[in-house]
Amino acid sequence: MSKKVVVICGTGVCTSTVVMGKLKAFLQEKGLNVNLTQSKVSDVMNRASDYDLIISTTAVPSTIGTKVINAVPVLTGVGKEKFFAELEAALKE
């Protein structure tokens, strides 16, 4: 069963769009089958348990039980290798 991953940012429009694009390319390259959706922080707050993994460009409250990976490295390029390594590991769990 493929993992349910959601990509979020504050507004659900700008930075999450960039991250979605990079993520899709990465997943395709690695041949990873993932259920990928895009949203914003406020929508996901109440539904965090719907997802296996949250990729966010903004800070997510630590009270959320679902695993969160910070995606700012994907935007800025600083530390993006580590991000993709962490992502791949989380998907293979």
Partner 1 sequence: MHGLLTPEHLLVLNQPCDRIGVLQRLGALLVKSGTVEQAYVDAVVAREGEYPTGLEIGEINVAIPHANTTSVCRSGIALGIVKPGVKFCSMAEPDKEILVQVVILLAAQKSELQLHVLEQIMEFIQDQGRLQTMLEAADEQELYTRLTQHLALGERQG
Least Å from the CB of residue 16 to partner 1:
10
Type of residue found at 6: V
Query: How far is CA 83 from its chain centroid?
Result: 10
Asked if 39 is part of the footprint of partner 1 (rule: CB under 8 A), the reply reads no
CA–CA dist 73, 87 (Å, integer): 12
- Nearest in space to 35 (alpha carbons), one of 71, 7, 12, 5: 5
Asked if 89 is part of the footprint of partner 1 (rule: CB under 8 A), the reply reads no
Asked if 43 is part of the footprint of partner 1 (rule: CB under 8 A), the reply reads no
Asked if 76 is part of the footprint of partner 1 (rule: CB under 8 A), the reply reads yes
- 5, 6, 7, 15: which one binds partner 1 (CB under 8 A): 15
